[in-house]
Amino acid sequence: MARTNFKHWIQAARPWTLGVAISPVLLGTTIAWSEGGIRWLAALSALLGGILIQIGTNLANDYFDYKKGADSGTRIGPQRVTQAGLIKPETVRNGFIACFGLAFLIGIYLVYLGGMPIVTIGLLSLLLGVIYTGGPFPLAYHGLAELPAFLFFGPIASATTTYVQTGDWSPASIVAGFSAGFFSMALLAINNLRDFEEDRKAGKNTLIAIFGRGFGVYEYALAVLAATLAPLALIILKPDHAVVGMTALTALMTVLPIRKADRFVEPIELISVLKMTSKLQAIFTVTFIIFWLV
């Protein structure tokens, strides 16, 4: 029974989404290496904190969507543990509280390194993790999820990671974070595109539920293209690392997922696009690191 429960917790954590938390920390740490040196404990703390916030947000999403009736037996996407009865709602609630609590404790060390800016960013990150689908005005239910997803899993996460290691806010880290942020938006878009008809029925007014399928395809395409092409800006900003612009070649890998997103017939087909996008972010991140260090 314990083994089954553990598998259910892994399922609830949605490991395929953790790239959005890992990528900006790796990008920020890579840039810190060339702008003052890596502080490994700070980098590890930022990584664990980001992962815990992402898992906590996933659990909160699972819990609050169930409570609001947005998850039903007809949902196309990956199975939600609360709706499926695999884990009790109050246990999932306690799970996201525990994740946010651990992230808060890790954040104390980062505050020691970075001061008040980290206090503000950390508390906002935790708050947004809850009000994404919870609270009296859940962002995802009012078409307001994209901007915080972009900022807090993009330039803010990347630049903060560099800052706690070097003591400086790096423009290069901010630009690199744009890629991570756009990937976060792309993953959000493909999820919302898959679920937009069910979301409409449940009153979950994502941007795609409001504006329709065509908007969702364009949102995804623009986000994934912007994610892969953003390093071109570093050719001008950091000419000594101009070779990192070669990372934009990963834009060629967006053709297939964009085509599949545009031509899908059944929403279940978009699960493969979600996986392709996650893999693309991993490939992009590794490629960026290699070219930056060359």
pLDDT band at 1 (very low <50, low <70, confident <90, very high): very low
Instruction: Give the model's pLDDT for residue 85.
Output: 84
- Tokens at 255, concatenated: 């053709």
Which range, of 81-85, 149-153, 240-244, 270-274, averages the lowest pLDDT?
A: 81-85
Which range, of 62-71, 131-140, 194-203, averages the lowest pLDDT?
A: 62-71
Tens digit of each residue's pLDDT (9 = 90 or more) over 34-66: 998 899 999 999 999 999 999 999 999 899 988
Q: Tell me the average pLDDT across 256-266.
A: 97
Alpha carbons 72 and 182: distance in angstroms, whole number: 29
- Tokens at 32, concatenated: 């810190």
Instruction: Give the model's pLDDT for residue 2.
Output: 44
Residue type, position 115, single letter: G
* CA-closest candidate to residue 150, choices 224, 60, 244, 48: 224
Three-class secondary structure of residue 256 per DSSP = helix
Residue 15, C-beta contacts closer than 8 angstroms, at least 6 positions apart = none
Assess contact for 63 and 89: CB atoms under 8 A.
yes
Sheet strands (E) in the chain: none
Instruction: Give the model's pLDDT for residue 84.
Output: 80
pLDDT band at 82 (very low <50, low <70, confident <90, very high): confident
Report CA-CA distances (Å) from 244 to 20, 30, 232, 280. Answer: 20, 12, 8, 17
Tens digit of each residue's pLDDT (9 = 90 or more) over 101-111: 999 999 999 99
* CA-closest candidate to residue 104, choices 93, 118, 94: 118
Tens digit of each residue's pLDDT (9 = 90 or more) over 161-201: 999 999 999 999 999 999 999 999 999 999 999 999 989 98
